[in-house]
Structure 1
Amino acid sequence: MSDAAAPSASPAPARPARRGFGRRPADDGPRASFRQLLPYLTEHRRVLAWVIALSVLGAAASLAQPLLVNQVITRVQHASPLGWLVWALVALVVVAGIISGYQHYLLQRTGEGVVLSSRRRIVARLLNLPIAEFDRRRTGDLVSRVGADSTALRAVLTQGLIDAIGGALTFLGALVGMAIIDPVLLGLTVLVIGVSVVVVVLLSGRIRTASARAQKKVGDLTAAVERAISSVRTIRAAGATAREIAAVDDDARGAWQMGIQVARISALVVPVAGIALQVSFLVVLGIGGYRVASGAISVASLVTFIIFLFMLVMPLGNAFGAITSVNSALGALGRIEEIIALPGEDAHDARSASLAQLRADAPALAFDRVSFAYPVDSAASSPVDSAKPNGDPALVLHDVSFEVPRGKRTALVGPSGAGKSTTLALIERFYDPTAGSIRLGGVDIADLPRDELRAQLGYVEQDAPALAGSLRDNLTLGAPDATDDECRRVLEAVNLGEVLARSPLGLAAPVGEEGVMLSGGERQRLAIARALLAAPPILLLDESTSSLDGRNEQLMREAIDAVAEDRTMIVIAHRLSTVVDSDQIVVLDHGQVVGVGTHSELVAAVPLYRELAKHQLLV
């Protein structure tokens, strides 16, 4: 045992500004390159190849139409019978329409496939990120990347990119046809179109930047709404509804302003194709009429040239639209790729050991001179402790050493901010120690795969969360193969039988969003039941009975005692009455171990523990 004076605590770091209480500096957010977009497209390369083939057929059908029109006008001028030309022209129009409709369907379906694949990738990465990433990021912003940002990728396919590929063929064909008919008129047309292309190129970069900013603002708005809705009861009780509405409205206005900026820039791009067409048409009509009058070209050739002109400018409009949609999508893709590029939780796992190497003669768990500081960018948002020991003020735990005997109950006690919850978070490997090591059965847990380690642990968090869904969904989270009878037995064991009886749905009864249809004590008991049903070798209980009344607390202790036989338990408790009978009590203060022993030993030897016991009338 040790007997040390409590070191003075340094001030806790300031929490990062949150919506409604402060603002983060704005930034433009990440922007992706077109190369990063290609994997999403090549995943559907077979369908896209078929779409491109349809585009070629459609381009051929469209380019053939002016040629037939030329023949029709020529025959009319010479009073010759039209014969099959009219029917051929009608057939080409119908074929082009059918091809266009089917191509549109394939593009829409492929666009949905791109959205699906992007959502799968980002969700898979999100749920594997280190806990520290969730500490420093807002939930609503992450949700926005799955929803709004991934949806923006659909526009790449449905608003012009593949159409632009087919349109390029039409453009080239029309260009060749116009060059054959009249190079002079073509030169004037190209001059007008060239100016419009330069304008679009100059604006495209601004569109991408503005789109990235707009997507970020949408993420800010989603985060603000998520925060307000998840805390709506607290906000109402505090009379802060008007202030929260104003805060969310501020984010909504920010998103609106950025959307207006995108619209303003896009508004400069969209009319360019129309203006180019109108100016080109007027030039061709004026100069072409003069050349017809001079006998340089025929009326049929002028009409054919004008049709080719429309075919030249329309694909150009599609290309301009593609530039706009692709740049918007690249802004959204940048936010998606930012998350996908983050290393997963197990990216640096050594995986050099396995559970087969655990030694039965070693302590269940052992802390060996463990020190820990939260990462710089997530320390302020740590949901647990703010202890600051002597030495490095950033350390939450400092030189912590103790052993947890196998099959025994160990309690962690100490004042708030002593480092108790952080200790359990390190055992679960939500974070890794800054220094020192934690051993499970004699094996450093840093050498074990996280999934294998966590299969040995049953963790009941301090806030006792309940997942939206049914009672069964919550119970079987860690034991998916559990039977209904096993679920009912464990619910009865934690005195939740009345919850089953409340609804005719039984185990299928919903618990509501975040367990809102359960009381705080019921949510806590449900969380404990979930851990008990999984029946792991080691149970970690963080203030697991803090929301229970005396009767339910006694029933809970009996249920835990029954299931804890031959199991190792680590229990955190502020009420010493719940842990005085523990086999071992570890006293923490400001991130340091100041005593280890039984209740009677600690009362006699550790002033801090004796003071805690005195305040709770246990001595």
Structure 2
Amino acid sequence: MSTTAPERRSPFSRGRKDDGPRASFRQLLPYLFEHKKILGVVIALSVVGAAASLAQPLLVSQVITVVQKGSPLGMLVWALVGLVVASGLLSGFQHYLLQRTGTSVVLSARRQLVRRMLRLPISEFDVRRTGDLVSRVGSDTTLLYAVITQGLIDAIGGSLVLIGALVAMAIIDPVLLGLTLLVVAVAVITVVGLSGRVRVASRKQQEKVGDLAAAVERSLSAVRTVRASNATEREIAAVEKDAEGAWRMGIQVAKISALVVPVASVALQVSLLVVLGVGGFRVASGAITIASLISFVLFLFMMIGPLGTAFGAINSVNQALGALGRIQEIISLPSETDGDAAIVPVAAIETDAAISFEDVAFTYPAEAVALHDGEEPRDLTVLHGISFAAERGKRTALVGPSGAGKSTILALIERFYDPTAGVVRLGGIDIRGLDRTDLRSQIGYVEQDAPVLAGSIRQNLLLGSPDATDEACIAVLKAVNLTEVLERNALGLDAAVGEDGVMLSGGERQRLAIARTLLAAPPILLLDESTSSLDGLNEQMLREAIDAVAENRTLIVIAHRLSTVVDSDQIVVLDHGKVVGVGTHSELVASTPLYRDLAKHQLLV
């Protein structure tokens, strides 16, 4: 932008605490309830599976008793085999449903994130790094998958097994059960104490992954500049530093998780030793039978299994809640339009102007302003009482030194930002009272360094005109002298332009961006230094194309070249966010020293 644009800063520079906002389990529930039908089936299968599992020790006890009596086993063995096979089949089907549901939960989270991200106010992108936002869509949402597939639903079914096992163990021998529960209580207290640390460490790990993604995106997007500057090794070192930061936090999560994982195993071993020791004594004393002791041990294994699953679920849920906090941080941000209902537009007026500014001021908030070491956060005002009118069907040029506020004016017309004070009008109507979609449908905007999207020429052209025909696409490419691009590739409109349009030259990228806007043929065109990357011949051809489509349309043009300015119906001269002159070229040469100086140097500023 030609105004004093704020540099991008980390969103974490906004004074957030080190552990950041935390998500609660309640915030996780909507993602689960979205798939409640499938989860209901899974839970039902868990109940059936739990019943099949609980029946097995009882059958084993009966088999032992029958064998001790010397009676024939009959159908007992087949019933036991049937239960084992049924449990395996139910487990396999349940596993498939869990995997499918986990994938669906991730999809839901990604949809919400992408929908919110692409609707965020432009000011949010001024202070947030692209790589970190991408990381939230990628790695953060993936952790939600673990909630479903690594224990949460299994823990629900397992709790039934746990309760059933406890009831059976209480019936068999309350004394052994009491000793077992004492060991288990110590394990539970240990896991609960560690779970909070897992959540905090997991969030910090995801933040470090976001830092890494932002560093990689930064380096790859400027890889040619990095190579040309012999800065490859320095960039590698910088990215590796972020990678090591993510690794260190991963190790921290692993250390805490490593304390959780063996708790169930230790609890099982200690419980088993206690049961075998005390249980053997009780068998010898005649308090219980050997069949009862074996059944108790089998139920003990059944109880510890779900307990281990529950511990794993606590671990995975806390990791997911750490990531969910970062997801919810974005989802909870207001969208671009959320505050529109509270705006009271200024009353409409009668005017012939297509666009008019009335005493408009604009200030970037402190969090969007880059600071030097030791500087206190401060707001940055870039427009001061701007007033001018762009007549309908006429061409208005904005000129001035770098940082004068030219691009900010176009951003206000597009409602990327709203003015801090004053009014911007479209046909006499305060644009804050217009639907943003309707407003932007009337405006074609070619920004400075207009991006070319990865994909084909056709996809770039159809971005704003999805129903345009091939003939219209070819005609607009011809108008901006891009037919050569079609001719050099047999794919024509389907030819790939590469990441960020790398297959095109700088001038071709800019002309393609202009063609994309011209194809939509809106009544108002905003061109931000649209000819700055063109040579003399292509600039002349593009000017002719713009002249052709500009007939009966309103143009507001930011230009660095005198040749683009002199034919304008009106020129607005800006300096330090203020209007210092308005008029034609000849009028301003005579009346405005700044313009006279700019014209003397061909406006190359």
TM-score bracket for the superposition, by shorter chain length: over 0.9
Q: Which residue does the alignment assign to 1:377?
A: 367
Structure 1 position 380, deviation (Å): 3.2
The Cα RMSD (Å) is 2.1
Amino acid at match of 2:562: L
Q: Larger deviation: 29-38 or 337-346?
A: 29-38
TM-score (normalizing by structure 1): 0.93
Mapped partners of 1:455, 1:359: distance in 2: 22
Q: Which residue does the alignment assign to 2:383?
A: 397
Is 1:608 the counterpart of 2:594? The answer is: yes
Contact 2:8–2:128, Cα closer than 8 Å, also in 1: no
Task: Give the 3 Å change call, closer, same or farther, for CA 353–394 of structure 1 in structure 2.
Answer: closer
Q: Which residue does the alignment assign to 2:517?
A: 531
2:193 to 202, 206, 210: 202
Contact 1:366–1:404, Cα closer than 8 Å, also in 2: yes
Could you tell me which runs of 5 or more consecutive residues in structure 2 were left unpaired when the two chains were aligned: 372-377
**After the TM superposition, which residues 412-451 of structure 1 pair with which residues of structure 2 at under 5 Å, given as runs?**
412-451=398-437
Mapped partners of 1:617, 1:447: distance in 2: 36
Is 1:250 the counterpart of 2:241? The answer is: yes
Q: Which residue does the alignment assign to 1:411?
A: 397
Is 1:310 the counterpart of 2:298? The answer is: no
Amino acid at match of 1:362: D
1:544 is paired with a residue whose SS is: coil
Mapped partners of 1:612, 1:15: distance in 2: 27
Query: CA offsets per residue over residues 87-107 of structure 1, 9 Å max, x none?
Result: 000000000111111000000
Query: CA offsets per residue over residues 459-490 of structure 1, 9 Å max, x none?
Result: 00110210001000111111110000000000
Q: Which residue does the alignment assign to 1:333?
A: 324
1:474 is paired with a residue whose SS is: helix
Q: Which residue does the alignment assign to 2:554?
A: 568
Q: Which residue does the alignment assign to 2:374?
A: none
1:547 is paired with a residue whose SS is: coil
Query: CA offsets per residue over residues 12-40 of structure 1, 9 Å max, x none?
Result: 79846679xx9999822322000000000
Could you tell me which runs of 5 or more consecutive residues in structure 1 were left unpaired when the two chains were aligned: 1-10, 382-391
Contact 2:4–2:404, Cα closer than 8 Å, also in 1: no
Q: Which residue does the alignment assign to 1:387?
A: none
Task: Give the 3 Å change call, closer, same or farther, for CA 186–264 of structure 1 in structure 2.
Answer: same
Mapped partners of 1:415, 1:288: distance in 2: 90
Structure 1 position 378, deviation (Å): 1.5
Structure 1 position 239, deviation (Å): 1.0
2:144 to 150, 153, 163: 153
1:78 to 69, 73, 79: 69
Contact 2:131–2:214, Cα closer than 8 Å, also in 1: yes
Mapped partners of 1:582, 1:228: distance in 2: 41
2:40 to 49, 55, 66: 49
Is 1:476 the counterpart of 2:467? The answer is: no
1:536 is paired with a residue whose SS is: coil
Mapped partners of 2:86, 2:209: distance in 1: 42
Structure 1 position 359, deviation (Å): 8.1
**After the TM superposition, which residues 186-225 of structure 1 pair with which residues of structure 2 at under 5 Å, given as runs?**
186-225=177-216
Contact 1:155–1:325, Cα closer than 8 Å, also in 2: yes
Contact 1:602–1:609, Cα closer than 8 Å, also in 2: yes
Structure 1 position 393, deviation (Å): 7.7
Task: Give the 3 Å change call, closer, same or farther, for CA 12–473 of structure 1 in structure 2.
Answer: closer
Task: Give the 3 Å change call, closer, same or farther, for CA 502–602 of structure 1 in structure 2.
Answer: same
Mapped partners of 1:508, 1:440: distance in 2: 37
Contact 1:426–1:433, Cα closer than 8 Å, also in 2: yes
Mapped partners of 1:335, 1:204: distance in 2: 18
Query: CA offsets per residue over residues 477-522 of structure 1, 9 Å max, x none?
Result: 1111000000000001100000001111110001000101000000
1:399 is paired with a residue whose SS is: strand
Mapped partners of 1:617, 1:202: distance in 2: 67
Contact 2:454–2:498, Cα closer than 8 Å, also in 1: yes
Is 1:462 the counterpart of 2:452? The answer is: no
1:592 to 567, 578, 593: 578
TM-score (normalizing by structure 2): 0.95
Aligned length: 594
Mapped partners of 1:617, 1:542: distance in 2: 14
Query: CA offsets per residue over residues 546-604 of structure 1, 9 Å max, x none?
Result: 00000000000000000000000000011122110100000000000000000000000
2:244 is paired with a residue whose SS is: helix
Q: Which residue does the alignment assign to 2:567?
A: 581
Task: Give the 3 Å change call, closer, same or farther, for CA 329–206 of structure 1 in structure 2.
Answer: same
1:482 is paired with a residue whose SS is: coil
Contact 2:358–2:386, Cα closer than 8 Å, also in 1: yes
Q: Which residue does the alignment assign to 1:364?
A: 354
Mapped partners of 2:147, 2:431: distance in 1: 46
Contact 2:8–2:129, Cα closer than 8 Å, also in 1: no
2:279 to 288, 308, 330: 288
Is 1:547 the counterpart of 2:533? The answer is: yes
Task: Give the 3 Å change call, closer, same or farther, for CA 181–436 of structure 1 in structure 2.
Answer: same
1:397 is paired with a residue whose SS is: strand
Mapped partners of 2:389, 2:440: distance in 1: 19
Is 1:67 the counterpart of 2:58? The answer is: yes
Contact 1:30–1:212, Cα closer than 8 Å, also in 2: no
Mapped partners of 1:15, 1:512: distance in 2: 27
Task: Give the 3 Å change call, closer, same or farther, for CA 608–566 of structure 1 in structure 2.
Answer: same
Structure 1 position 613, deviation (Å): 1.1
Q: Which residue does the alignment assign to 2:175?
A: 184
Mapped partners of 1:207, 1:246: distance in 2: 29
Q: Which residue does the alignment assign to 1:6?
A: none
Contact 1:351–1:447, Cα closer than 8 Å, also in 2: no
2:310 to 319, 323, 331: 319
1:377 is paired with a residue whose SS is: helix
Mapped partners of 1:353, 1:557: distance in 2: 40
Mapped partners of 1:67, 1:105: distance in 2: 29
Contact 1:369–1:400, Cα closer than 8 Å, also in 2: yes
Task: Give the 3 Å change call, closer, same or farther, for CA 25–35 of structure 1 in structure 2.
Answer: closer
Task: Give the 3 Å change call, closer, same or farther, for CA 617–304 of structure 1 in structure 2.
Answer: closer
Contact 1:17–1:24, Cα closer than 8 Å, also in 2: no
1:380 is paired with a residue whose SS is: coil
2:364 is paired with a residue whose SS is: coil
Query: CA offsets per residue over residues 339-387 of structure 1, 9 Å max, x none?
Result: 0000000111149899xx9888531000000000112211339xxxxxx
Contact 1:494–1:525, Cα closer than 8 Å, also in 2: yes
